[in-house]
């Protein structure tokens, strides 16, 4: 039974309340205190989904706490819950109340794209606000969501609490104020889209937000079908899916959620989630999909989608053996946003392709031939070249008008005597299209002629990519003197390193630490090859974890010596925070050398020269 329990702040994670409790009543040591809370001396300091809550509640009896309240308000349970089947959610809940089972494995977090965060995250501006309101800075639950890297209130990147710490003890509840990063760098988030999705993800904490049905493994698939991304009645139009998806999300944004997509990759998550979502996807991916479905909905709002059941599409190629039959045809559907019509693309085995759509204003169906196909073309060749028939007769046999025959005739006759294949014709049209639009890149060209592009992409992807496209060059306006910039940043890095070394000599100096300190992390990685001097400098001064252990040994020994403490082998290892499993021959020899005085201690030994 407890007689004191700290006040819980809005959106505070349980971990933070426990840390404050331990801090405030810390006189008898954390083990004793943890025993008061959980009826046992060691418990993992779990940030997201803590266990042993039943004991905690029992011990908090007099504070009128309810276990459901804690689950819902102070843990990440609601974040994961929405996408678990009710049975699994119950299992997780049970594990959190008792102390059984590995919750992270159960949900699939360990194998997922965002493993549970081990070190708490915080927003330096939230900390500032807390301080100005005279409350002890605390850890927000929203900041601990693994897929989110920003504080959505202040729109800045979050910092990690234990970044500067030498070791990480999984039983220790870190008290925010004791571990604030002394460099407290503020990096603004520039992307509104990213901010919006993060806000949507945060809403998951307030309970179920979307109509997702965890019991139906094909829920998403059905939703897509409603939006017309269907091929052959029950098959998904993957092409349509990826086109729409990448229209909405660019790769930079997706990469932030570790969710880039690739149509050519058979195990791309986007295919997987529409195949069967059961596999367990990170909640952020569900939010991305939910948002995508909403996008499709608004995109299609003004559309009338005709009922598509039971319509059969015949082959319209008069010289095909399946003419007027639907046995060899397949179809796919998409929504045309210009005409706001649902278009069905029908393709026969013979290569004949046409689109079919319903025009509401005229109340009739509309058909347009897209491709005549190789069977049709070879028949045309035969009639023209071998049988030398008249245009009109050919048109009658092929089921088209004379104009069409003439059009293809000119293509056949052009060049040398060998007739051009459909592919060559299309390639020629594409090249004309490029010449007509000399200032358009491939994306723009594609947007103007999507069908042609799709055909070429399917039939001669390499050829398509090999063409020389116009590349806009935004940096040409703002010519950057990279040499000068390289040296400038190098200077900043040197200063940052010397500051880091003075402020906390035992801290591990790494490439990313310095880059973060000078706020050039992204910039550096985007232009690494142009920043040669910085690159070289950073690789020279970067301390490996192993190097850092040796450095800690020497500096700890020096500290102990300064404090006139007696140095023994084990006190030294403890002071340096080196765990047994990391000890190897060299480290043992070094530690022993320090203890028996054969190793000469010097502060300079483990400062890298650069």
Strands 329-336 and 353-359 turn out to be unpaired
Q: Would you count residue 153 as binding Zn ion (CB under 5 A)?
A: yes
127 binds Zn ion (CB under 5 A): no
Choose among 491, 426, 422, 415: nearest CA to 453.
426
Among 99, 163, 165, 322, binds Zn ion (CB under 5 A): 322
Q: Count residues contacting Zn ion (CB under 5 A)? A: 13
43 versus 348: smaller Cβ distance to Zn ion: 348
Contacting range for Zn ion; rule: CB under 5 A; set: 6-14, 40-48, 160-168, 309-317? 309-317
Considering the rule CB under 5 A, would residue 123 count as an interface residue with Zn ion?
Answer: yes
Q: What is the DSSP secondary-structure string of 462-522?
A: HHHHHS------GGGTS---HHHHHHHHHHHHHHHHHHHHHH-TTSPP-HHHHHHHTT-HH
| Among the residue ranges 185-193, 234-242, 316-324, 528-536, the one whose residues contact Zn ion (CB under 5 A) | 316-324
State the residue for tokens 């689950």: 71
Residue position matching structure tokens 């880039």: 260
Q: Per rule CB under 5 A, is residue 236 in the interface with Zn ion?
A: no
Of the pair 17, 126, the CB lying nearest Zn ion is at 126
Pairing of strands 364-371, 159-160: unpaired
Bin 363: left if φ > 0, else alpha if -120 < ψ < 50, else beta: left
Q: HSE-up of 292 (CA within 13 Å, CB side)?
A: 26
Minimum distance of Zn ion from residue 253's CB (angstroms): 21
Nearest to 247 by CA among 299, 312, 210, 206: 299
Residue 185 CB, shortest distance to Zn ion, in Å, is 14
Q: Is 398 in the site for Zn ion (CB under 5 A)?
A: no
d(CA 183, CA 174): 18
Q: Which window, 78-86, 98-106, 308-316, 595-603, contacts Zn ion (CB under 5 A)? A: 308-316
Q: Decide: is 151 part of the binding site for Zn ion (CB under 5 A).
A: yes
**Among the listed residues 320, 384, 517, 554, the single contact to Zn ion using CB under 5 A:** 320
| 223 versus 422: smaller Cβ distance to Zn ion | 422
Least distance in angstroms from the C-beta of 127 to Zn ion: 8
293 interacts with Zn ion by CB under 5 A: no
Interface with Zn ion, residue 195, by CB under 5 A: no
Indicate if the alpha-carbon torsion angle 569, 571, 574, 579 is positive or negative: positive
- Selected range binding Zn ion among 276-284, 315-323, 339-347, 591-599, rule: CB under 5 A: 315-323
Q: Answer yes or no whether residue 126 interacts with Zn ion by CB under 5 A.
A: yes
Instruction: List beta partners, residue 315.
Output: 323
CA distances 192 to 72, 114, 155, 188, 197, Å, are: 28, 22, 9, 11, 9
Binding of Zn ion at residue 557 (CB under 5 A)?
no
Residue with tokens 């045809």: 329
Q: Which of 46, 81, 164, 317 binds Zn ion (CB under 5 A)?
A: 317
Nearer to Zn ion, 52 or 373 (CB): 373
| Cβ(515)–Cβ(489) below 8 Å | no
State which of positions 331-350 bind Zn ion (CB under 5 A): 348, 350
Using CB under 5 A as the binding rule, whether residue 315 contacts Zn ion is answered as yes
Residues of this chain that interact with Zn ion (CB under 5 A) are: 123, 125-126, 151, 153-154, 315, 317, 320, 322, 348, 350, 352
């Amino acid at each position: 039974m407890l007689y004191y329990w700290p006040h819980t702040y809005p959106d505070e994670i349980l971990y933070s309340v426990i840390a404050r409790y331990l801090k405030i009543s810390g006189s008898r040591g954390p083990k004793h205190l943890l025993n008061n809370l959980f009826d046992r001396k060691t418990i993992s300091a779990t940030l997201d989904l803590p266990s042993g809550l039943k004991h905690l509640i029992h011990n908090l009896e007099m504070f009128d706490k309810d276990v459901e309240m804690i689950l819902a308000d102070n843990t990440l349970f609601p974040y994961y819950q929405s996408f678990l089947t009710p049975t699994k959610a119950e299992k997780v809940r049970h594990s959190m109340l008792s102390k059984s089972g590995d919750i992270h494995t159960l949900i699939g977090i360990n194998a997922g794209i965002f493993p549970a965060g081990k070190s708490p995250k915080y927003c330096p501006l939230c900390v500032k606000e807390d301080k100005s309101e005279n409350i002890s800075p605390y850890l927000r639950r929203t900041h601990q969501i693994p897929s989110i890297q920003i504080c959505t209130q202040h729109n800045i990147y979050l910092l990690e609490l234990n970044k500067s710490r030498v070791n990480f003890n999984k039983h220790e509840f870190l008290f925010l104020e004791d571990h604030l990063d002394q460099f407290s760098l503020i990096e603004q988030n520039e992307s509104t889209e990213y901010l919006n999705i993060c806000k949507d993800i945060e809403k998951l904490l307030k309970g179920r937000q979307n109509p997702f049905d965890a019991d139906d493994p094909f829920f998403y698939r059905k939703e897509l079908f409603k939006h017309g991304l269907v091929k052959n009645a029950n098959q998904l139009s993957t092409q349509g899916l990826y086109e729409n998806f990448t229209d909405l999300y660019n790769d930079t944004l997706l990469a932030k959620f570790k969710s880039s997509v690739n149509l050519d990759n058979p195990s791309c998550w986007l295919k997987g989630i529409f195949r069967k979502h059961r596999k367990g996807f990170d909640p952020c991916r569900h939010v991305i999909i939910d948002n995508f479905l909403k996008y499709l909905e608004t995109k299609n709002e003004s559309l009338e989608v005709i009922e598509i059941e039971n319509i059969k599409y015949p082959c319209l190629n008069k010289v095909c053996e399946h003419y007027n039959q639907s046995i060899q045809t397949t179809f796919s559907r998409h929504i045309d946003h210009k005409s706001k019509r649902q278009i069905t693309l029908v393709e026969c085995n013979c290569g004949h392709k046409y689109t079919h759509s319903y025009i509401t204003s005229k109340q009739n169906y509309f058909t347009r031939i897209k491709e005549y196909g190789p069977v049709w073309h070879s028949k045309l060749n035969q009639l023209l070249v071998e049988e030398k028939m008249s245009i009109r007769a050919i048109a009658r046999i092929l089921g088209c008008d004379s104009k069409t025959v003439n059009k293809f005739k000119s293509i056949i006759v052009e060049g040398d005597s060998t007739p051009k294949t459909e592919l060559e014709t299309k390639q020629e049209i594409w090249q004309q299209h490029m010449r007509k639009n000399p200032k358009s890149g491939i994306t723009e060209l594609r947007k103007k002629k999507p069908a042609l592009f799709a055909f070429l992409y399917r039939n001669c992807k390499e050829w398509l990519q090999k063409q020389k496209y116009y590349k806009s060059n935004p940096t040409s306006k703002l010519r950057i003197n990279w040499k000068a910039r390289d040296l400038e940043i190098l200077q900043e890095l040197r200063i940052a390193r010397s500051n880091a070394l003075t402020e906390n000599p035992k801290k591990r100096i790494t490439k990313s630490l310095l880059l973060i300190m000078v706020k050039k992390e992204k910039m550096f990685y985007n232009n690494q090859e142009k920043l040669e001097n910085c690159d070289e400098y950073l690789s020279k001064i970067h301390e490996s974890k192993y190097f850092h252990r040796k450095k800690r040994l020497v500096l700890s020994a020096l500290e102990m010596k300064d404090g006139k403490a007696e140095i023994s082998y084990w006190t030294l290892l403890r002071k340096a925070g080196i765990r047994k499993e990391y000890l190897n021959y060299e480290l043992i020899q070094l530690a022993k050398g320090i203890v028996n005085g054969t190793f000469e201690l010097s502060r300079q030994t483990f400062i890298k020269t650069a």
